[in-house]
Amino acid sequence: MADDSILVQPSTSTANECMSEEKNLEIQAYDNSQCYCYLDDCNGILHGIPNSFDLGTIPVRLTCISVSTSYMAIGSMRLTCISVSTSYMAIGSSCGALFLFNRRLNKNVNPLRTSFKEVVTCIELFASKQDDFLALGHRSGTVILLCLPSRNPNGNRKIKQSIQEDGHKGQSIARMAWNENGTKLYTSDLNGLIMVTEVDFSAEVYNCLFVHNESRPIVQLISQNNFLAFCTTEKFFIFNSNDNHIIFETSNFSW
């Protein structure tokens, strides 16, 4: 459902103190493949994030990170997920605050406050030549959709939002994926329920529809070419979004 109340507001809170401790950078390489793992404490980015809000009464604990080409959004200082696009970096937090870094302007945006003390469990950015969208999933199952200010001179100049509360009510959001043109957002929760929200910010129309229920956590969710691929630790599925049915399923694989 779309709610007219504003849950996302710019915050004027300033940092009580900035993190100054330098930590060692770790790089782990695997000799038997071309894959590698790169670990970084992101001190340069986190330098602009306060340790607390409201005169120190609300601690800021980071829970997830998402990156696009214009913005960066950061969601405990333990980063748990990352998404990449061309505009922003986005970071969510356990106190409901959202931190944005505009990559085009190379600067932090004022923190946005979502629902009070609501843990942000998942973030997913979408970027096109015209639009920048951001989806936030919460521990309560609430999904917030944001249309960020457009880089297009004739585009949207203010943040638009929709609050979806009913699709995953009471279940923590675990995975999210935009389709290729930003008109659909697929979401899954810890119980394996997958929903899709049809998104039209210009017309302010948002329809939440059932996709599938696997009754176990979804560990991967990818949308491409009108297909949705998702899997648990035991099964893999391909869903055709044009006629809304599973066209492929297998359990013959292992991690």
What's 56-92 look like in SS3? Answer: CCEECCEEEEEECCCEEEECCCCCCCCCCCCCEEEEE
Gap between the Cα atoms of 193 and 178, Å rounded: 16
Look up the CATH number of the domain holding residue 213. Answer: 2.110.10.10
Q: Which of 56-60, 115-119, 198-202 is the most confident on average? A: 198-202
Shared domain check, 125 and 187: no
CA separation (Å) from 107 to 6, 13, 53, 73, 82?
25, 17, 20, 12, 19
Position 22, amino acid:
E
Window from 38-52, 70-84, 135-149 with minimum mean pLDDT = 70-84
Domain holding 184, by residue range, is 171-255
Shared domain check, 22 and 130: yes
Shared domain check, 79 and 142: yes
pLDDT band of 28, cuts 50, 70, 90: very low
pLDDT the model gives residue 146? 92
Give pLDDT tens digits for 155-169: 677 889 999 998 999
Shared domain check, 128 and 73: yes
> Which residues are paired to 60 by β-bridges?
none
pLDDT the model gives residue 141? 93
Shared domain check, 5 and 30: yes
Last residue of a domain, one of 165, 182, 201: 165
Shared domain check, 124 and 103: yes
Position 70, amino acid:
S
3-state secondary structure of 43: helix
Please give the average per-residue pLDDT across 20-28, as a whole number. Answer: 35
Gap between the Cα atoms of 185 and 126, Å rounded: 10
Shared domain check, 245 and 128: no
Shared domain check, 182 and 117: no
Gap between the Cα atoms of 133 and 147, Å rounded: 5
For the chain, the average pLDDT equals 75
Tokens matching residue 20:
């100054």
In the numeric block, the tokens 């899709």 are attached to: 196
pLDDT the model gives residue 208? 95
Nearest partner of 100 among 74, 135, 125, judged by Cα: 74
Gap between the Cα atoms of 93 and 112, Å rounded: 11
* Cβ atoms 112, 140 nearer than 8 A: no
pLDDT band of 150, cuts 50, 70, 90: confident
Give pLDDT tens digits for 71-106: 445 544 344 445 556 788 888 777 777 788 888 888
pTM given for the model: 0.71
Shared domain check, 1 and 49: yes
Shared domain check, 176 and 161: no
Gap between the Cα atoms of 6 and 20, Å rounded: 34
Shared domain check, 190 and 157: no
Total number of domains in the chain: 2
Last residue of a domain, one of 139, 165, 191: 165
Shared domain check, 227 and 196: yes
Strand 71-74 relative to strand 88-93: parallel, antiparallel, unpaired? parallel
Last residue of a domain, one of 113, 131, 165: 165
